[in-house]
Amino acid sequence: MNLEQFPKKVRIVEVGARDGLQNEKSVIDTADKVEFIKKLADAGHQSIEVTSFVRPDRIAQMSDAKELFPLVKKIIDPDKTQLICLVPNLKGLELASELGVKDVAVFTATSDSFNLKNINATVSQSFDRIEPVIEKALASGMRVRGYVSTAFGCPYEGAMDPRKAGLVAQRLDQMGCHEISIGDTIGTGTPYSVHKVLDEVLKSVSQEKVALHFHDTRGMAVANVMAGLERGIAHYDSSAGGLGGCPYAKGATGNVGTEDLIYLFHTFGIDCGVDLDKQCVSSLYMLEKLEKYTTSKFLQAYLNGKMKIYMPSPKDF
Amino acid sequence: MNLEQFPKKVRIVEVGARDGLQNEKSVIDTADKVEFIKKLADAGHQSIEVTSFVRPDRIAQMSDAKELFPLVKKIIDPDKTQLICLVPNLKGLELASELGVKDVAVFTATSDSFNLKNINATVSQSFDRIEPVIEKALASGMRVRGYVSTAFGCPYEGAMDPRKAGLVAQRLDQMGCHEISIGDTIGTGTPYSVHKVLDEVLKSVSQEKVALHFHDTRGMAVANVMAGLERGIAHYDSSAGGLGGCPYAKGATGNVGTEDLIYLFHTFGIDCGVDLDKQCVSSLYMLEKLEKYTTSKFLQAYLNGKMKIYMPSPKDF
């Protein structure tokens, strides 16, 4: 462990309200989503993924995007918290633009099979769609985040060649994305593959533009973040309480819990700007609405009254 | 990540039948424990913690130690699988000796407060008890494993000075323990403190004698094992399915799940000799008896039918 390679500060991109909720069956009231996002911003989050401008009939949980965004925008200080919205196409971008969205995200994957099932386009075809979206977004002064899904493994193709993640990331970078989030969509990544994928991605994309997005399906996510820290990566996606994954449901593949990452960062003395106690309260607010238990082990410990025991930091050693 | 420092082979010490079950409320039938241990041995385990020779009125789950051990011994090949029994004192050792136990384990902690609550002795007083046990065990040709509890944190004292773990480990080493297991009893350890504690322990104890024992209370255990691998540590304690911790119960502090570790090792191409599929089947056998869900995220994914997707290994990259 070479602490000198570690970033001094990290930023969490809280994806619970979008990537998390999108994978939850119970559809949450718009007002409850607004309150959830407000709590997350109050906890100190600099970046919150708010919603996705998809066709309302495609994903029920995201069908209130048009109503939700203005309500959130009204109460969140844009200088403190970046509000990110997914836009799958030009129609989504147009809507986002009308509503005054400043940060959009586009997505593709490294796997043709996954992309075909998900967005009915090969990886190459997806770039034909994304390119005009990015161009138009940049022209209207927005910032664009790019997602690279299935970078570590694909449910249909299995292991993915890390060079594919490198090439997709490079292309998103060249198109003008200010940040590229490398995603372990199905949670098969491990520290070994994280290093291999970063070897490829960092060949063309500069370190400060790279974010990592892990799902904790097989319990590797925190170790994967450690691998990212060792490579100097400073941006990590996570979801409040591990929203999106359910320990009881078939097909559970939730994002790593934000609480687990804040705890990890804290113990290294790395500042992420988010208050852990407030984060727990925010997560529990939404988990209660969903009537579900958390997949975040830290939040489980918190619920068991164990957080107060002590929070070790480097000065303790 | 310097893979050259990683051990080529690792050994898991499967503690589900003792450390795991001891923390479960439902008392399991002796015959079911025997079957569980048989399944674990068949999965390839080289070391299984079987039971603890404590006073039968102290821990109900361990009160069948005298009946259990001979039944296990009868069916397990001693050349393939080491059967470890905890002995808290000379009386326990005597019983173990009569039953033909070859591997015993003794335990103490780095924290006086914890030891006083647990065994009514300070750390220093505990050594007065342990020393004759180790001497006698060695004299009768047994091997002795030493446990260092609360090495990373104590429920009463908070953060522990890593030098204490170093000193306790050194003393157990000097007394003749062939292996010293450094335990994160309450699961507050993180990769940072693992490195700090190992800095101290490795000053006096040679690397090949050190084992690490993590509880996954705050989701850090797999990352902690990664830190251990980086320091060349080759022995890891874990429990089948994360037995001992319950996601619903207050005070859940289960051992890291054996499945999560086998998966981690596999993806690095590190041989641990245990078949992951057979491990899952063994764990599920006992979880069914306990009527509980697993805390191991890998086993959760396995139950969701996700293991078959693919098992990445270094040759995939």
| Residue range A159-174: mean pLDDT, rounded | 97
Are the beta carbons of B219 and A296 separated by less than 8 Å? yes
Measured between beta carbons, the chain B residues lying within 8 angstroms of A151 are none
Q: What was the pLDDT predicted at B310?
A: 58
Are the beta carbons of A309 and B190 separated by less than 8 Å? no
Give the closest-approach CA distance of A98 to chain B in angstroms: 41
Quick one: pLDDT band at residue A304, thresholds 50, 70, 90? confident
Give the closest-approach CA distance of B238 to chain A in angstroms: 14
Say yes or no to pLDDT of A251 above 90: no
Rg of chain A over Cα atoms, rounded to whole angstroms, equals: 18
Are the beta carbons of B264 and A155 separated by less than 8 Å? no
Q: DSSP H helical segments within chain A, as ranges?
A: 21-22, 30-42, 65-75, 90-98, 112-119, 123-139, 162-174, 191-204, 221-230, 258-267, 276-290, 297-303
Q: Please report, in angstroms and rounded to a whole number, the separation of the first and last CA atoms in chain A.
A: 16
Are the beta carbons of A263 and B304 separated by less than 8 Å? no
Q: Which of A154, A177, A246, A280 is catalytic?
A: A246
pLDDT digits (tens, 9 = 90+) for A32-58: 999 999 999 999 999 999 999 998 888
Q: What was the pLDDT predicted at B309?
A: 47
Flag whether residue B186 sits within 8 Å of chain A, measured between CB atoms: yes
Quick one: pLDDT band at residue A308, thresholds 50, 70, 90? low
How many beta-carbon pairs under 8 angstroms link A with B? 168
Percentage of chain A modeled with pLDDT above 90: 80
Return the residue of B nearest to A250 by Cα.
Answer: B304
Flag whether residue B156 sits within 8 Å of chain A, measured between CB atoms: no
Return the residue of A nearest to B199 by Cα.
Answer: A317
Residue A36 CA to residue A32 CA, distance in Å, equals 6
* Domains, chain B, ordered by start: 3-316 (3.20.20.70)
Contacts (Cβ under 8 Å, ≥6 apart) of A275: A43, A44
Quick one: pLDDT band at residue A303, thresholds 50, 70, 90? confident
Q: Which of residues 238-297 of B touch A (CB under 8 A)?
A: 247-253, 257, 260, 263-264, 267-268, 293, 295-297
Q: DSSP H helical segments within A144-275, as ranges?
A: 162-174, 191-204, 221-230, 258-267
Q: Indicate the residue of B220, B225, B312 with minimum beta-carbon distance to A188.
A: B312
Measured between beta carbons, the chain B residues lying within 8 angstroms of A251 are 304, 306
Q: How, if at all, do strands B11-14 and B235-238 pair?
A: parallel
Measured between beta carbons, the chain A residues lying within 8 angstroms of B201 are none
CB A104 within 8 A of CB A93: yes
B272 is catalytic: no
Are the beta carbons of B317 and A293 separated by less than 8 Å? no
Predicted TM-score (pTM) of the model is 0.94
| Residue range B86-93: mean pLDDT, rounded | 96
- The amino acid sitting at B218 is R
pLDDT digits (tens, 9 = 90+) for A211-229: 999 999 999 999 999 999 9
Give the closest-approach CA distance of B316 to chain A in angstroms: 6
| Residue range A301-313: mean pLDDT, rounded | 70
| Residue range A102-119: mean pLDDT, rounded | 94
Are the beta carbons of A298 and B218 separated by less than 8 Å? yes
Q: Which of residues 100-139 of B touch A (CB under 8 A)?
A: none
Instruction: Tell which residue, B89, B29, B20, B97, has the closest CA to residue B55.
Output: B89
Are the beta carbons of A301 and B267 separated by less than 8 Å? no
Measured between beta carbons, the chain B residues lying within 8 angstroms of A201 are none
Return the residue of A nearest to B228 by Cα.
Answer: A1
Q: What was the pLDDT predicted at A2?
A: 77
